[in-house]
């Protein structure tokens, strides 16, 4: 068993070793570029989660020499993806894109949000017009709201970078995609690895007065979004808000002015996705799998595997699941903070299979609140360990048992399926922090 565990850890160690410094050559020389290209031609290993289903996930591994690009600007990234951001999502030519340095979504816009705002929009005017004290608790409407919507459309066209099928995007050491959304929509067979995703903020959040008891500000832009796509592998990336945390946002209408949405959302009938060895750091909304409770085309879709990821200081949607068969194993959760809400969201017709996950909890986070019922009925959960605040020793705990003891109605214990697509053995839970913390995330 020990040899099998070491073999499983070696998959992640291989990427770490390849991207680690190795003398002057790794500072950007030919040797380092050769290492990155070798990684760019890697395909998802057999049986490595749902993305290994069907034809498997090969990304741009078959790219011809002329379709291998190194990019360091927004313009270069769009050009490498096909040349036109409006149509790149249909460019199915196999391609490998190596990201160096920082690619910023606001490149070429010195005024950033001001350059994208519709002439009829300003935040000051919006706050004055839709203050609940005078407007009431109804959704904003009229010319000013219409101007906000046009402003969002301007930002979407500029900071949403569209990816086509048969693409691998891989970062050199320290590569960042900042202030943009990487959109994989109707684009099967995509691989994204070793990228630091930083602060995809919404310049024009919407006020939703009926969202919750007090209303909420809602933003549109994820760091990465997968929609209407199959066979997508997201591996060894880091997702953060950088130096623009939610805690630094102002309060408007008595609610936090939320400029961030998800880290990695998988929605709109997407399926066959593997999310492995990533870090999600100090974020509120992390991963939404399925965007609507409406029974329809999502049924039988949204099948996702999460393994060996680190959720560090994250507050909710770790993930929140609707409809899909979602395999969640060997992930490390380090949870706490005033904004913490829940870890695993059991949504409508969801079938979560959670095995051998490790939870380190700060003050104020109770084991019975790690699950949340969003309209689901069942979850298979086993092998969980919890290390509570003030305790040096973790212990095996049934998250489901703790939840059912504290909440009504109970959730059932059988999600109705057993995962078969796993590359290598499942680690014993006490080893998960060691493996995940050592191996997960982009290599900085």
Q: Which residues are catalytic?
A: 317
Is residue 298 within 8 A of residue 304, CB to CB? The reply is no
Give the separation between CA 221 and CA 241, rounded to whole angstroms: 12
Judged by DSSP in three states, 72 sits in coil
Is residue 281 within 8 A of residue 196, CB to CB? The reply is no
Token readout for 333 is 């959760």
Is residue 103 within 8 A of residue 73, CB to CB? The reply is yes
Residue 358 region by backbone torsions, left for phi larger than 0, else alpha for psi between -120 and 50, else beta: beta
Positions of E strands within 320-442: 320-321, 325-329, 332-335, 344-347, 351-355, 358-361, 371-374, 379-382, 385-387, 395-396
Question: What would you report as the CA-atom Rg of the chain, rounded to the nearest whole angstrom?
Answer: 22
CA angle 223/156/95 to nearest 5° reads 65
Token readout for 147 is 């101007």
Is residue 92 within 8 A of residue 166, CB to CB? The reply is yes
Instruction: Give the alpha-carbon dihedral of 114, 247, 385, 388, to 10 degrees.
Output: 180
């Amino acid at each position: 068993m020990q040899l099998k565990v070491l073999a499983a850890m070696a998959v992640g160690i291989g990427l770490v070793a390849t991207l680690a410094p190795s003398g002057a050559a790794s500072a950007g020389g030919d040797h380092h570029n050769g290492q990155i290209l070798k990684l760019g031609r890697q395909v998802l290993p057999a049986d490595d989660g749902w993305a290994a289903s069907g034809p498997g996930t090969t990304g741009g591994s078959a790219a011809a020499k002329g379709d291998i690009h190194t990019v360091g600007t927004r313009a270069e990234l769009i050009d490498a993806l096909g040349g036109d951001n409006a149509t790149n999502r249909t460019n199915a030519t196999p391609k490998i894109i190596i990201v160096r340095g920082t690619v910023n979504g606001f490149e070429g816009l010195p005024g950033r949000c001001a350059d994208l705002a519709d002439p009829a929009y300003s935040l000051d005017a919006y706050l004055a017009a839709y203050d609940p004290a005078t407007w009431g608790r109804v959704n904003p409407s009229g010319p000013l709201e219409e101007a906000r919507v046009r402003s969002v459309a301007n930002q979407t066209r500029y900071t949403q970078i569209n990816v086509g099928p048969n693409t691998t995007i891989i970062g050199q050491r320290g590569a960042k995609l900042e202030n943009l959304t990487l959109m994989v929509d109707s684009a099967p067979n995509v691989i994204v690895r070793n990228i630091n995703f930083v602060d995809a903020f919404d310049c024009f959040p919407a006020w939703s007065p009926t969202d919750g008891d007090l209303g909420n500000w809602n933003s549109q832009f994820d760091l990465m979004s997968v929609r209407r796509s199959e066979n997508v592998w997201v591996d060894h990336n880091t997702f953060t808000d950088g130096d623009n945390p939610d805690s630094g946002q102002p309060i408007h209408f008595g609610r936090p002015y939320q400029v961030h949405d998800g880290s990695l959302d998988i929605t709109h009938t997407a399926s066959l996705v593997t999310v492995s060895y990533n870090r999600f750091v100090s974020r509120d909304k992390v991963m939404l799998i399925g965007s609507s409770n409406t029974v329809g085309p999502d049924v039988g879709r949204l099948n996702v595997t999460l393994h060996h990821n680190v959720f560090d200081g994250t507050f909710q949607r770790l993930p929140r699941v609707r409809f899909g068969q979602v395999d969640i194993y060997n992930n490390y959760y380090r949870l706490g903070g005033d904004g913490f809400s829940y870890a695993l969201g059991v949504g409508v017709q969801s079938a979560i299979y959670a095995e051998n996950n490790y939870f380190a909890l700060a003050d104020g986070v109770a084991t019975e609140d790690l699950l949340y019922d969003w309209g689901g009925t069942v979850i298979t959960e086993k092998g969980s360990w919890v290390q509570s605040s003030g305790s040096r020793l973790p212990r095996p705990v049934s998250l489901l048992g703790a939840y059912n003891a504290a909440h009504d109605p109970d959730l059932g214990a059988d999600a109705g399926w057993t995962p078969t697509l796993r590359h290598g053995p499942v680690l014993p839970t006490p080893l998960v922090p060691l493996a995940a913390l050592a191996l997960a995330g982009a290599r900085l």
